[in-house]
Structures are given as structure tokens and as C-alpha cells.
């Protein structure tokens, strides 16, 4: 373990260590700390780059000023996050606030007393917050039910399938045309070639379809759409629930929960469950993201 008893700043230089790093004071603007293990920082992390192969503990928070970046393979715990960009491979735990951040969280967000406002946060797992949005309607977007590690793979399979089906359609058109015309020896030869090519295409389509189904099954296994809000959900918040983008139309007092079931996106408060249309407006709908459902 590397223990640093002072600030990480221009006098110490950047840190790149094979193992765990413990910093007794702050990480100043413009610096970077990289470690293959855990990183623990007692002081404030400024507009710095933090990369670790384990967990991050930011005891005094992170003030990123839109230049700070977190790349955390494990879990991350922080007093607060402001204007930070980055990715957390596990769970994100925040005690006070998440403000103006652009984050991808592959696990859960556990911040039952914190406020999330401004920025764009995408989470694969469940979300627990104190407040979502702000009284002044700061642009806040929360994306739910996405699996960023797998969605691009599914999209590539879909692209491949679209190309295969388009080619199959062209070959079938050619086959039909040849079957209605007087067949010369060359045309009969071409018909044989077409049968062989269509057989290969059908085999490729079956393999790609099976691959897409496998990826979508894993996406469905991993994601959860469950947002618990203890105190307040504010007007103007955008919720992207697997391709459905909802705008919250009014302030709603908590405790409440937003989730996804066979009826669609629902919300529950005081034991009563209803469609999200009671408190929100559907602004966009991209059904392809709900293939797994």
C-alpha cells in the first residue's frame, strides 16, 4: 500500500501505483491518481482524474468543476459529487448530494439522504435518493434500466441482422425473376448459386438471432428499474426508462417509488399504485430498448 501524508499536487506529481493508495489530505486540480487497487482520500478531490481497479472512498467529496473524472472499477463512496464525469463499475454511495454530474453507474445508487440534481446519470441497478431534481427545475436526467456494457453488442447484432435480411430480400427478388423467365444454362446455374447463398444467409441469420437473444437475456437479468425517493420528486425531471423518456409535470412529495412492470412505468405512494401519466408526460418512446422486456 502507498500512503501519502500530504496533498497530491504539483510538488508531488501524479500518482500511478500498482496496489492500494491512501491519501491523508487533498488531490488538487489538474492532478491524477491511478491505482490497481483501492484509493482512499481523506481531503477534497478537486478537478482531478481518479482511476482505480478497486473501490474509491472520497471522505470529503469531489468538486470536479466539469473537469474531474472518475473511472472506478469497484464501488465508490463519497460525501458529495459536483460536476464530475465518469463511470462506476459497482455501487455508488453518496451521503449529501450529486450535482451536475455525468455518470454511468453499473450497480446501484445508494443515497437515501442525498439530492440528485442537474446533469445526466445512467444507472443499471436500483436507485435510492432523498430528493430528485430541484425547486428551480435544474435540468436533471436519470436513465434507468440500461446496461452500457451490453447495449452496444445488442445494437451490433441488430445492425448485422438488418444487413443480412436486406441481402436475403435482394436474392429472393433475383430468384423470383429468374424463375419467371426462360432459363438459359447460365440462368439455371445462377439459380443453383442463389439457393446455396440463401442457405448460407439463413444459417447466418439464425446464428445472429440466437446471439441477440442471448445478449438481451443477459441485459434483462442485469438491469432493474426501481427508484425510491424519500422526500421530494421535482417538476421538470427527465426519466429515461429503457427508451421511454418521461418529464415529471409537478412536484410530488415522498416517500414514493417509481418502477417498471408489465403495465409499463408506474409510481407508488402510500400503498397506492398508478401509471406515471398521473404525474408525468411521455415525451419520447424508443421501443427497441425494451426488447428484453
Instruction: Specify the pLDDT at position 177.
Output: 86
Measured CA to CA, the distance from residue 49 to residue 11 in angstroms comes to 17
Chain-centre distance for alpha carbon 125 = 9
The pTM score is 0.80
Instruction: Specify the pLDDT at position 224.
Output: 75
How many residues appear in the chain? 293
Locate 113 and state its grid cell.
439522504
Is the predicted pLDDT of residue 52 greater than 90, yes or no? yes
Comparing 270 with 35, which gets the higher pLDDT?
35
Q: Measuring CA to CA, how many Å separate 184 from each of 70, 187, 189, 254?
A: 67, 5, 9, 77
Is the predicted pLDDT of residue 238 greater than 50, yes or no? yes
Reading phi first (left if > 0) and then psi (alpha if -120 to 50, else beta), residue 254 is in: beta
How do the domains of the chain map onto residue ranges?
2-147+223-290, 151-220
Contact indicator for 241, 144 with CB cutoff of 8 Å? yes
Is the predicted pLDDT of residue 247 greater than 60, yes or no? yes
Is the predicted pLDDT of residue 289 greater than 80, yes or no? no
Instruction: Specify the pLDDT at position 290.
Output: 44
Instruction: Specify the pLDDT at position 261.
Output: 78
Instruction: Specify the pLDDT at position 293.
Output: 37
Mean pLDDT across the stretch 85-110?
Answer: 96
Measured CA to CA, the distance from residue 252 to residue 227 in angstroms comes to 14
Locate 282 and state its grid cell.
411521455
| β-bridge partners, 247 | 238, 281
Instruction: Specify the pLDDT at position 291.
Output: 43
Is the predicted pLDDT of residue 265 greater than 80, yes or no? yes
Amino acid at each position: 500500500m502507498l500512503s501519502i501524508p500530504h496533498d497530491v499536487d504539483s510538488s508531488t506529481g501524479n500518482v500511478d501505483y500498482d496496489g492500494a493508495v491512501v491519501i491523508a489530505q487533498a488531490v488538487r486540480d489538474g492532478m491524477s491518481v491511478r491505482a490497481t487497487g483501492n484509493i482512499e482520500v481523506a481531503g477534497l478531490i478537486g478537478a482531478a482524474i481518479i482511476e482505480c481497479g478497486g473501490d474509491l472512498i472520497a471522505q470529503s467529496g469531489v468538486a470536479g468543476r466539469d473537469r474531474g473524472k472518475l473511472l472506478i472499477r469497484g464501488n465508490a463512496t463519497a460525501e458529495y459529487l459536483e460536476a464530475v464525469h465518469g463511470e462506476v463499475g459497482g455501487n455508488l454511495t453518496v451521503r449529501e448530494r450529486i450535482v451536475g454530474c455525468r455518470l454511468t453507474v453499473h450497480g446501484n445508487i445508494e443515497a437515501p439522504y442525498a439530492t440528485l440534481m442537474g446533469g445526466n446519470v445512467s444507472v443499471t441497478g436500483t436507485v435510492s435518493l432523498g430528493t430528485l431534481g430541484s425547486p428551480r427545475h435544474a435540468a436533471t436526467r436519470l436513465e434507468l434500466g440500461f446496461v452500457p456494457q451490453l447495449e452496444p453488442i445488442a445494437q451490433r447484432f441488430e445492425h448485422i441482422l438488418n444487413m443480412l435480411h436486406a441481402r436475403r430480400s435482394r436474392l429472393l427478388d433475383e430468384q423470383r425473376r429468374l424463375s419467371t423467365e426462360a432459363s438459359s444454362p447460365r440462368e439455371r446455374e445462377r439459380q443453383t448459386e442463389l439457393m446455396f447463398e440463401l442457405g448460407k444467409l439463413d444459417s447466418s441469420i439464425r446464428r445472429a438471432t440466437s446471439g441477440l437473444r442471448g445478449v438481451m437475456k443477459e441485459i434483462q437479468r442485469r438491469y432493474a428499474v426501481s427508484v425510491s425517493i424519500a422526500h421530494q420528486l421535482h417538476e421538470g425531471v427527465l426519466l429515461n426508462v429503457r427508451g421511454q423518456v418521461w418529464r415529471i409535470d409537478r412536484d410530488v412529495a415522498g416517500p414514493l417509488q417509481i418502477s417498471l412492470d408489465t403495465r409499463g412505468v408506474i409510481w407508488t405512494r402510500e400503498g397506492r399504485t398508478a401509471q406515471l401519466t398521473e404525474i408525468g408526460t411521455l415525451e419520447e418512446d424508443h421501443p427497441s430498448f425494451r426488447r428484453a422486456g
